[in-house]
């Protein structure tokens, strides 16, 4: 992503001066997207404005993710390309500061500087508030500056308020880190232990986002429903209490949160889905497997029937809720019976959207050294079966919306002239021909067709208005009123 832009000139009697240029490339989750924006905020006072491409930049930041397969290989491939640009700038008498941030930097800082000694900065996710100091140190001295500790001070206490609007939809990190230690996951080692921001700082940031025009706010965290921050009353609040407070902020029409863990899905949070109209009826709740034996090997801390009961409670509280999840095919030790248990859970619960992957080893995680690794061909077959069933369910969910009426948040122009784009309450992309609507409007539309990954709709003659969704939820999507 490109960094947000501060003003490019100084106005008044002061002559314009060129600014340094910053390019940030972001891989991975929305947490990384949020982190990249905050890094740009931190660097803006140093005079860094956005660059459209690395070729134009005085500083390039690669914000990395360790979750996906071959993350390190992708990083070093990109660094090889950037090395050529860096050398070209040096030959022309200029300098490019090259930084590697994020989870790969945290996990493999020494390896990065050994294989790519031309990298100037290596910083983990908990240290980007120190970027100005790191840039100064890198400018003064040769050699890489590495910051991959988990500092005693919390970075959110040192970050400036963001003044750059995110747009109609915005992300807000409220929790970081993980104490779950799932066998396949590196997050506890790269993001550290669970930390919750205070309610006051979260609410203040949400109010700034709303004042800047954000109508939908998505709360982020590695285990976002484990949030338990200090409340406005000095007591510890849970996520349900925070959501109720955020829903009262003027201008906020929609709230979401991701990613959740089944172990932290308590009854009060489930009830909030039925009680808070602004809380959208879509929940990403990773289960990973439908086999109790594999869930235990994964150290997930829940059983398949626990997940089924949570789904039942959520649908009792909010009948129109749609679920999304994650699945891993071929975790070490998984056999055919375990795989079929996963297929059974998918059929029992039903998902509007899901992400599924083959198990891939992450160095340093317990599963990486486990015996009984599943052959690649078998992982491929199981993944294809999982994805085929999930695709069938997603298509069925989208088709269930055809001929019905839904509220859509307009997010901006579509790909074609006169077209607008938006999102349904269930996160489906929606495209339609506009009739005076503006980004940020919430309008009622009739669904005309279900496309492979979106809905085609026609706007109603009379918009639904800009308030929150209706307080009485209906099954997806709401039946269109009789003519």
- How far apart (Å, rounded) are the C-alpha atoms in residues 219 and 175? 9
Residue 29, annotated as binding a ligand: yes
Residue 65, annotated as binding a ligand: yes
Residue 406, annotated as binding a ligand: no
- For residues 357 and 327, the answer to whether their CB atoms sit within 8 Å is yes
Q: Which class for 376: exposed (0-12), middle (13-18), buried (19 or more C-beta within 10 A)?
A: exposed
Q: Which class for 153: exposed (0-12), middle (13-18), buried (19 or more C-beta within 10 A)?
A: exposed
HEC string of the chain equals CECCCCCCCCCCCCCCCCCEEEEEEECCCHHHHHHHHHHHHHHHHHCEEECCCHHHCCEEEEEECCCCCCHHHHHHHHHHHHHHHHHHHHHCCCCCEEEEEEHHHHHHHHHHHHHCCCCCEEECCCCHHHHHHHHHHHHHCCCCEEECCCCCCCHHHCCCCCCCCCCCEEEEECEECCCCCCCCCCHHHHCCCCEECCHHHHHHHHHHHHHCCCCEEEEECCCHHHCCCECCCCCECCHHHHHHHHHCCCCCCEEEEECCCHHHCCHHHHHHHHHCCCECCEEECCCECCCHHHHHHCCCCCCHHHHHHHHHHHHHHCCCCEEEEEEEECCCCCCHHHHHHHHHHHHHHCCCEEEEEECCCCCCCHHHHCCCCCCHHHHHHHHHHHHHHHHHHHHHHHHCCCCCEEEEEEEEECCCCCEEEEECCCCCEEEEECCCCCCCCEEEEEEEEECCCCEEEEECCCCCCCCCCCCCCCCCCECCCCC
- How far apart (Å, rounded) are the C-alpha atoms in residues 64 and 119? 14
CA angle 119, 125, 128 (to 5 degrees): 70
Binding residue ranges: 29, 65, 103, 178, 182, 185
Residue ranges of the binding site for [4Fe-4S] cluster: 29, 65, 103, 178, 182, 185
């Amino acid at each position: 992503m490109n960094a947000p832009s501060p003003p490019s000139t100084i106005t008044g009697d002061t002559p314009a001066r060129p600014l340094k240029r910053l390019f940030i490339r972001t891989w991975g989750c929305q947490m990384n997207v949020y982190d990249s924006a905050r890094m740009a905020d931190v660097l803006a006072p140093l005079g860094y404005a956005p660059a459209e491409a690395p070729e134009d930049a005085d500083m390039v930041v690669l914000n990395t993710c360790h979750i996906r397969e071959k993350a390190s290989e992708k990083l070093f491939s990109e660094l090889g390309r950037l090395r050529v640009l860096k050398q070209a700038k040096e030959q022309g008498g200029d300098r490019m500061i090259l930084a590697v941030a994020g989870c790969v930097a945290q996990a493999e800082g020494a390896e990065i500087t050994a294989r790519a000694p031309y990298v100037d900065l290596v910083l983990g996710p908990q240290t980007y508030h120190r970027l100005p100091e790191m840039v100064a140190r890198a400018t003064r001295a040769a050699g890489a500056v590495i910051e991959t500790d988990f500092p005693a001070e919390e970075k959110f206490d040192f970050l400036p308020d963001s003044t750059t609007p995110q747009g109609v939809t915005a992300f807000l990190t409220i929790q970081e880190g993980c104490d779950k230690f799932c066998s396949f996951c590196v997050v506890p080692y790269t993001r550290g232990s669970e930390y919750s921001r205070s309610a006051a700082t979260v609410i203040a940031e949400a109010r700034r986002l709303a004042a800047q025009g954000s109508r939908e706010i998505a709360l982020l965290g590695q285990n976002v429903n484990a949030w338990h921050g200090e409340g406005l009353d000095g007591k510890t609040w849970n996520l349900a209490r925070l959501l109720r407070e955020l829903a009262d902020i003027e201008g906020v029409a929609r709230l979401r949160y991701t990613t959740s863990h089944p172990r932290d899905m308590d009854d009060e949070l489930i009830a909030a889905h039925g009680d808070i109209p602004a809380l959208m009826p879509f929940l990403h709740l990773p289960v990973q497997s439908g086999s109790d034996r594999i869930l235990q090997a994964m150290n997930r801390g829940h059983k398949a029937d626990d997940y089924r009961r949570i789904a039942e409670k959520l649908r009792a509280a909010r009948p129109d809720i749609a679920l999304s999840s994650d699945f891993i095919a071929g975790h070490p030790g998984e056999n055919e019976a375990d795989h079929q248990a996963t297929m059974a859970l998918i059929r029992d619960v039903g998902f509007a959207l899901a992400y599924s992957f083959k198990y891939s080893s992450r160095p340093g995680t317990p599963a990486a050294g486990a015996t009984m690794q599943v052959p690649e061909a078998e992982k491929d077959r199981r993944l294809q079966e999982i994805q085929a069933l999930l695709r069938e369910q997603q298509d069925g969910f989208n088709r269930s919306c055809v001929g019905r009426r839904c509220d859509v948040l307009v997010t901006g122009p579509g790909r074609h002239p006169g077209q607008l784009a938006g999102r349904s309450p269930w996160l489906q992309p929606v495209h339609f021909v506009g009739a005076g609507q503006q980004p940020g409007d919430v309008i009622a539309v009739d669904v005309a067709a279900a496309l492979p990954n979106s809905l085609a709709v026609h706007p109603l003659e009379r918009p639904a208005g800009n308030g929150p969704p209706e307080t009485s939820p209906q099954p997806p999507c709401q039946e269109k009123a009789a003519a």
